[in-house]
């Protein structure tokens, strides 16, 4: 297969054939390249100045999904795949998404017949710019990975203790565990606070056939109850019927 290139003019974006939907994945990728800034610019968006550099574009995801005739889910999966393939990075900025195409100048030069070769407008070579963008990509990915691992150690301690006290098998990375435990930790609660709540409620409910099922993260650690549980004494009487009715209302 030939390896030659052919320039594609941005006017293609206005052609009725190009606007036919839904877009193919390859067409969407070319669309991103054609829409990307070929020079730095600034504009106002929601009363905030947005700076878009060469090789970047700023769009709302809803706008992109509509443009390509895709669902939001398909769009998110596609952009995530491009990130995985080190083709671009995306950042959320002021209710929109700033997309940075990696190796943009190289793409423009080799795939679209640009006259830009060797040096870029800021004095760096294309190869240097590619390295800089790859470094940016790696830094952003590292931040994302750190966020994904947020509170993992604390959550492991809490879930392990809960399983030990109740004889149950809750998992560390379940959506429920992450939701309730991480939220309380972000509020400033400590692992010791969780252990105290587990001890208090296990003493009250473990041998109670009706209440044993409520020894679970979504009941013990929910925001409306956690503080009151934390300040209870193990011998305190609990209105079981009232709790059951409240949990049923939340689950509906």
The 10s digit of each residue's pLDDT in 53-97 is: 888 999 889 999 998 999 999 999 999 999 888 888 998 876 788
In whole angstroms, give the CA distance from residue 28 to residue 31: 5
Q: Where in the chain is the domain with CATH 1.10.10.10?
A: 10-148
Name the pairing type of β-strands 48-52 and 88-93. unpaired
Q: Look at the block and give the residue holding tokens 């309730």.
A: 180
- What distance in Å separates the CA atoms of residue 221 and residue 226, rounded to the nearest whole number? 5
pTM score over 0.85? no
Summarised one tens digit per residue, pLDDT across range 140-155 is: 555 555 545 677 888 9
Cβ atoms 213, 202 nearer than 8 A: no
Q: In the prediction, which pLDDT does 10 show?
A: 66
By CB atoms closer than 10 A (0-12, 13-18, 19+), residue 110 is: middle
10-148 has which CATH code?
A: 1.10.10.10
- Among residues 168, 51, 39, 155, the alpha carbon closest in space to that of 104 is found at 39
Q: Residues 120-132: pLDDT tens digits?
A: 444 444 455 555 5
Residue 206 structure tokens? 């473990």
Per-residue model confidence (pLDDT) at position 214: 94
Model pLDDT for residues 1-41, shown as the tens digit of each residue: 455 555 666 677 677 777 778 988 988 988 898 888 888 88
Contact 75, 94 (CB under 8 A): no
């Amino acid at each position: 297969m030939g390896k030659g290139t052919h320039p594609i003019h941005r006017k293609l974006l206005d052609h009725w054939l190009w606007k036919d939907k839904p877009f193919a994945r390859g067409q969407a990728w070319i669309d991103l390249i054609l829409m990307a800034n070929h020079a730095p610019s600034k504009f106002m968006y929601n009363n905030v100045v947005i700076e878009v550099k060469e090789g970047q574009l700023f769009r709302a995801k809803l706008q992109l999904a509509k443009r390509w005739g895709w669902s939001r889910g398909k769009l998110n999966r596609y952009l995530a795949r491009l990130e995985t393939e080190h083709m671009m990075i995306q950042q959320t900025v002021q209710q929109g998404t700033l997309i940075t195409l990696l190796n943009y100048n190289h793409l423009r030069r080799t795939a679209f017949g640009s006259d830009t070769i060797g040096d870029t407008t800021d004095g760096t070579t294309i190869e240097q710019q590619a390295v800089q963008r790859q470094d940016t990509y790696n830094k952003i990915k590292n931040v994302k990975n750190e966020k994904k691992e947020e509170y993992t150690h604390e959550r492991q301690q809490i879930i392990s203790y809960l399983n030990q006290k109740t004889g149950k098998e809750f998992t560390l990375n379940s959506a429920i565990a992450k939701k309730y435990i991480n939220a309380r930790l972000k509020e400033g609660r400590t692992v010791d606070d969780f252990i105290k709540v587990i001890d208090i409620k296990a003493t009250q409910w473990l041998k109670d056939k009706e209440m044993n099922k409520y020894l679970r993260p979504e009941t013990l650690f929910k925001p409306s109850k956690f503080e009151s549980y934390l300040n209870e004494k193990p011998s305190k009487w609990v209105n079981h019927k009232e709790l059951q009715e409240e949990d049923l209302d939340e689950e509906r």
